């Protein structure tokens, strides 16, 4: 999710700079600088798709390692039903887990503070951004290099 946030920031800033602002078309495509609310909306939309359903992995391992996966319609329905059971439980528990103000979800705090430090005044968020960029590039090397190398090892 942090990856999605960072990529959205880069692409959004690029679109805010590259698209012209004049005329009716420009006012439609580029009405204002890239702001926090747009960024949060993009992150929400994309992160809804970033986590695939776990039933997919069960089907995948059955297909690849054990053989005899169900028919395609059954596979689709298995994924949909398991997801809908989860949605139903979440809807039932909304009054208890979401609405009370003392229900804190600390998982959301990193992305929120990242969004704010990217969009606040640069002078205010300077220390935060410095730490963020140091850890960002370190993690980029740490994650991307083994990922790419192992993928090529498996495919070769």
Tokens of 7: 């990529």
Q: CA-CA distance, 27 to 14, in Å (whole number)?
A: 16
Distances (CA, A) of 61 to 10, 19, 64, 68, 154: 36, 45, 5, 11, 16
The yes or no reply on residue 101 touching other proteins (CB under 8 A) is: yes
For other proteins, the closer of residues 22 and 101 by Cβ is 101
135-142: list long-range contacts, CB under 8 Å, 24+ apart.
136/6
Name the segment binding other proteins (CB under 8 A); options: 37-45, 81-89, 130-138. Answer: 37-45
The yes or no reply on residue 42 touching other proteins (CB under 8 A) is: yes
Distant-in-sequence, close-in-space partners of 59: CB < 8 Å, separation ≥ 6: 69, 70, 75, 78, 79
3-state secondary structure of 35: coil
Name the segment binding other proteins (CB under 8 A); options: 81-89, 126-134, 145-153. Answer: 145-153
The yes or no reply on residue 24 touching other proteins (CB under 8 A) is: no
**Helix and strand totals (H; E) in the chain:** 8, 0
The yes or no reply on residue 107 touching other proteins (CB under 8 A) is: no
Binding-site member from 17, 20, 21, 61 for other proteins (CB under 8 A): 61
For other proteins, the closer of residues 35 and 83 by Cβ is 35
Tokens of 11: 């692409």
The yes or no reply on residue 16 touching other proteins (CB under 8 A) is: yes
Residues at the site binding other proteins, with contacts judged by CB under 8 A? 3-4, 7-8, 11-12, 15-16, 28-32, 34-35, 37-38, 41-42, 44-46, 48-52, 56-57, 59-61, 63-66, 72-73, 75-76, 79, 95-96, 99-102, 104, 109, 112-113, 116, 120, 143, 147, 150-151, 154-155
């Amino acid at each position: 999710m942090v990856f999605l946030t960072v990529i959205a920031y880069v692409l959004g800033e690029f679109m805010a700079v590259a698209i012209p602002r004049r005329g009716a078309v420009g006012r439609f495509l580029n009405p204002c600088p890239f702001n926090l609310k747009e960024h949060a909306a993009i992150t929400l939309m994309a992160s809804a798709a970033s986590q695939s359903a776990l039933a997919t992995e069960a089907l995948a391992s059955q297909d690849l390692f054990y053989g005899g996966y169900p028919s395609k319609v059954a596979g689709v329905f298995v994924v949909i039903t398991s997801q809908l059971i989860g949605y139903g439980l979440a809807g039932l528990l909304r009054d208890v887990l979401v609405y009370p103000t003392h229900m804190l979800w600390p998982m959301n705090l990193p992305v929120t503070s990242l969004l704010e430090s990217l969009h606040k005044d640069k002078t205010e968020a300077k220390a935060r951004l410095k730490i963020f960029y140091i850890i960002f590039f370190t993690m980029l090397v740490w994650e991307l290099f083994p990922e790419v190398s192992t993928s090529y090892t498996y495919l070769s």
